[in-house]
Structure 1
Amino acid sequence: MNKSNDKVTLELVLRQCVFIILNIYAISKLLGGQFYMKGKIPDEIANTTLGEASGFSLAWTFMGHSYFYILFIGVFQLSGAWFLLWNKTKLIGVLILIPIMVNIIVFDIIFLDVYPALANAIIVLLMLFLILFFNGEIIKDIVIKLTNFQSKTSVPIKKRLITFGITILFIILIFSFDSFIEYWLGASKEKIIE
């Protein structure tokens, strides 16, 4: 075997490992095996006050509060993992999964004291970065195509300033409209504090 074949084989192994690991986690989420869902909170957790609850219990209960949130994460983990199976979609899968894994790692570090899960998430993230590394030329070509804006004509400074002014005006209008809607719907300090 030559180096090129070894690289292809190793990348395939990494993709399949990530696929298996994330399918297990995603299916577990979707079937209610992760997070404390409404009506399925263990009694010892349900009877604990917020001040006495561990970070793990608070985080697991919070994330389990909305099945839509669980569905969102589970479906994106599944879709990203399945995209890894084919060469034409593997980079889409990696780009879907990297933010998910970074979020999981940050969440685990801040809220949870379950270090095997953190180690597993870090290993999955490293495998995703290795897949990107093995596809460095493709990534380089994509970045060059996305950032190569060679303007054939120079835009006059006056036109740039007008465009900038219009942009600022639209930003102010958007924030003003947002504030009006919040006020109209009754989002006041008192309601937020409640």
Structure 2
Amino acid sequence: MNKSNYKVTLELVLRQCVFIILNIYAISKLLGGQFYMKGKIPDEIANTTLGEASGFSLAWTFMGHSYFYILFVGVFQLLGAWFLLWNKTKLTGVLILLPIMVNIIIFDIIFLDVYPALANAIIVLLMLFLILFFNREIVKEIVIKLTNFQSKTSVPIKKRLITFGITILFIVLIFSFDSLIEYWLGASTEKIIE
């Protein structure tokens, strides 16, 4: 086997490992095996006051409060993992999974004291970065195409100022509309602060 074949084989192994690990976690989420869901909170957790609850109990209960959130994370973990199986969609899979894994790692560091889960998430994140590294030429081309905004003509300062002014006006209008909607729906600063 030459060097190129080793790289291809290693990348395939990484993609399949991430696929298996994230399918296990995602299916566990979707079937209610992760988080304390409404009606399924263990008695010792349900009878604990907020002040006495551990970070793990608070976080696990909070995450389980919304099945839609669990569904969102689980489905996107599955989607990203399945995209890793095909060469044409592998980078899309990595793009979907990177923010999910970073969020999981930050969440685990801040709230949970379950270090095997944190280690597992970090390993998955490192495997995703290795997949990007093995495809660095393609990633480099994509980044260059997305960030190459060379203008063939110089825009006069007056036109730039007008564009800037219109942008500021739209920002003010959007925030005003948002505030008006919040007012109509009854959202108040007291509710937010409490």
* 1:189 positional shift: 2.5
Query: Alpha-carbon deviations, 1:5-56, whole Å to 9, x = none?
Result: 0000000000000000000000000000000000000000000000000000
Secondary structure in 2 matching 1:38:
coil
Shift of 1:65: 0.5
1:1-194 to 2 correspondences below 5 Å: 1-194=1-194
Secondary structure in 1 matching 2:39: coil
For 1:69-122, what per-residue CA distance to the aligned partner results, in whole angstroms no more than 9, with x for missing partners? 000000000000000000000000000000000000000000000000000000
Please list the CA deviations of residues 132-165 of structure 1 after superposition, one character each: whole Å capped at 9, or x if unmatched: 0000000011111111222111111100000000
> What is the deviation of 1:180?
1.2
Which of structure 1's runs of 4+ aligned residues deviate more than 3 A? Answer: none
In 2: Cα distance, 1:182 partner to 1:80 partner: 35
Matches of 2:184 and 2:139, distance apart in 1: 47
SS class of match (2:27): helix
Moved more, 177-186 or 38-47: 177-186
Q: Which runs of 5+ in 1 are unaligned?
A: none
Q: Distance in 1 between matches of 2:66 and 2:149?
A: 43
Bigger drift between 140-149 and 23-32 goes to 140-149
When normalised by structure 2's length, the TM-score is 0.98
Shift of 1:127: 0.2
Matched residues in 2 for 1:127 and 1:34: separation?
23
Superposed displacement of residue 183, structure 1? 1.4
Tell me which moved more, 11-20 or 172-181.
Answer: 172-181
Taking structure 1 as the reference length, what is the TM-score of the superposition?
0.98
Tell me by how many angstroms 1:169 deviates: 0.5
Kindly report the root-mean-square deviation, in angstroms, between the aligned alpha carbons of the 2 structures. Answer: 0.8
1:40 is paired with a residue whose SS is: coil
Distance in structure 1 (CA, Å) of the matches to 2:178 and 2:8: 50
Counterpart Cα distance in 2 of 1:150 and 1:187: 44
Corresponding pairs, count: 194
Determine the C-alpha separation between the residues in 1 that align with 2:187 and 2:145: 44
Of stretches 184-193 and 56-65 in structure 1, the one that deviates more from structure 2 is: 184-193
Aligned CA distance change for structure 1 residues 143 and 193 (closer, same or farther; 3 Å): closer
The SS at the match of 1:51 is: coil
1:176 positional shift: 0.9
The whole-number CA distance in structure 1 between the counterparts of 2:185 and 2:15 is 47
Separation in 2, partners of 1:62, 1:149: 43
Question: Is the partner of 2:138 in helix, strand or coil?
Answer: helix
- Which piece of structure 1 moves more, 147-156 or 162-171? 147-156
CA distance in 1 between partners of 2:184 and 2:191 (Å): 13
Write the distance in 2 (CA, Å) between the matches of 1:149 and 1:49. 55
Alpha-carbon distance, 1:193 to partner: 4.3
